[in-house]
Chain A
Amino acid sequence: MIDARDFEQLEKHLFEVPVSFRQDMRVPARFYADKELLKGVVADNSLQQLINTATLPGIVKYALAMPDIHQGYGFPIGGVVATELPHGIISPGGVGYDINCGVRLLATHLNQEEINPYLDDLATILYSNCPSGIGKGGNIKLKGGELDKVMTAGAKWAVKRGYGSEADLERTEESGCLAGADPGKVSQRAKDRGKGQVGTLGAGNHFIELDVVHRVFDESVAQRIGLFQGQIAVQIHCGSRGLGHQICGDYVKQFQKMITIYGLNLPDRELVCAPLSSSDGQDYLSAMKAAANYAFANRQVLAFHIRRSFEQVLAGKVSNHHIFQIYDIAHNMAKVETHHIDGRQVRVCVHRKGATRAFGPGSAELPSVYRDIGQPVLVPGSMGTASWVLVGTEASMDQTFGSTCHGAGRTMSRKKAKKTIRGATLREALEGRGILIRAGSMSGLAEEAPEAYKDVDRVVEVVHGAGIAKKVAKLKPIAVIKG
């Protein structure tokens, strides 16, 4: 186990394990934390996992972890690794199984008083319209080559089919479609798993949540992106479902042979990787993009179901039941980006495993509506606590390859959470605090108890304090829908 003697404090919120700590490290390992979060960082294997990523071929500057770091598999969750092209590696395990797991934030023209009389009905209809839970398929049946279109066009496919608007696409990372996706690099089994799941939430920590904007920290940015205090907003948290899980599994298996081919010396087989300049690396990237596009389409269809639910319950009863999109972000992804590193422009592959892209003002990749304020960053907290809207900064471009935190981060194992917390009791407690719960599984609910997570406010204070994102608004939940 690693302890405080093994790392040094560089700044108030930044710590570093030096490259000399382990012989196989190519770069130092840096992580963001405060005194309290530090206790969690050293309590499990997350630092060990972060250090393991510092051994990856082609890694530049440092292996990074955001303050919501916790133990995962291969990479720690909260990990960010950039490898230099052309020969730097891409690692399927470094993206994770839920490729383009992410968050979409929608906003309404309503305040809490207007929605309160209908909240119960709305939660029920949302639960019924948005398929969730294990093995639950969606209500879109993809025929013939249509799944391939989902994988190549992403959210654009969904909008073309009538599940949204151009304004939604404009306010989605990469406009909801990564160029270069190749369904030909996706296995039949992955397609079989994905074909019936477009527009489904799944289980685990995925959710739809109705929130109220509790406090605005930056009035001018909030106004620009369309948020105001007291406003009702909706979050969607989900990813590429079985399709993404299978693609990752297929390539982690296939890449096991790279250990011999490239003479890789890896501390963990989950970190298997291939140079981006190789056909294997390119194949994975094309398949990963297919899953990423599927996930963008998935959240787009879920947004449609949410709009439909609002229409069903609220049309004619409130002043304006329409919903508009604030932004949609990915937090499990590898992307080829250009970053300014040590005085030169460098093409790198940035792996974000449980970390959010947080590009600062002026970035060409941002939609014109947000280019001057920086990229909106959506940070869902644990159930029943709070979520945050932040914006990317220039410092995030300098320090973290334009990345920041993605959530609260777990501290308690699912096994222990289930043992110590009863789902029904938790539901009662949350409802007592005015948070409606619609959940398919009470044990699944217990695993996601707020006690099992770090304090999201503390995580956000660290990224804000370190300058790698800036607070815009804090949201509080009023209804949670999950599988």
Chain B
Amino acid sequence: MDRRPEVHRKMGFEEIEHTADRALRIFGIDLQELFNSAAQGMIGLMVADVSKVPLEVEKSIELAAIDAESLLVEWLSELAYWAETEMLVFNELRIQNLTATHLQASVLGGKVPELKKHIKAVTYHNLKIIKTARGLEATIVFDV
């Protein structure tokens, strides 16, 4: 049995085993990179070829939450919402302002003809952003 994770180190995420749903381990040197990695990882689950997403729609996103973990769930939920309701995928992410409780970003993307995976929800399951020698790390479980 091949247990090697699919590593996208350059992208800052890897998919890990989860029996019922999908899970990503995400990395970043700081919170901004971690949030970016998480979004790229989730988009990778949703879209077969990220390079084919057109860059024609821009949206401003502003979110607030009680802590960084909640903010991360909000951030990913926001992106998943547009994918579900409008088939809009944003893959150019410009996070302009980010603290543990507040995020301001401008995202660029476009409509895709189909999604390969429906992200029903982003869960808080065992979610904890931890400091490592390389920066920050977290594991996110998606309900699919």
Contacts and interface: CB of A to CB of B under 8 A. Distances in A.
Given A134-B115, A193-B85, A242-B85, A77 B20 contact: yes
A449 to B, nearest CB: 14
25 contacts: A44-B19, A72-B20, A72-B21, A73-B143, A74-B123, A74-B125, A93-B123, A134-B118, A135-B87, A204-B120, A245-B143, A249-B73, A252-B123, A253-B65, A256-B66, A256-B70, A257-B66, A269-B125, A411-B19, A414-B21, A414-B144, A415-B15, A415-B22, A416-B17, A444-B116
B122 interface: yes
Interface of B: 2, 6, 15, 17-22, 65-67, 69-70, 73-74, 77, 81, 83-85, 87, 114-118, 120-127, 141, 143-144
Assign chain A's interface to a size class: 35 or more
A415 B14 CA distance: 12
A3 interface: no
B116 to A, nearest CB: 6
A242 B70 CA distance: 20
A100 interface: no
B22 to A, nearest CB: 6
Contacts of A97: 120-121, 123, 143
A192 interface: yes
Contacts, number: 110
Question: Which 4 pairs, one residue from A and one from B, show the smallest C-beta to C-beta distance?
Answer: A73-B125, A269-B124, A71-B19, A134-B118
B115 A70 contact: no
A203 interface: yes
A328 to B, nearest CB: 21
A187 to B, nearest CB: 11
Contact of B125 (A202, A270, A413): A270
A340 interface: no
A242 B143 CA distance: 12
A257 B65 CA distance: 10
A335 B2 CA distance: 42
Contacts of B125: 73-74, 93, 268-270
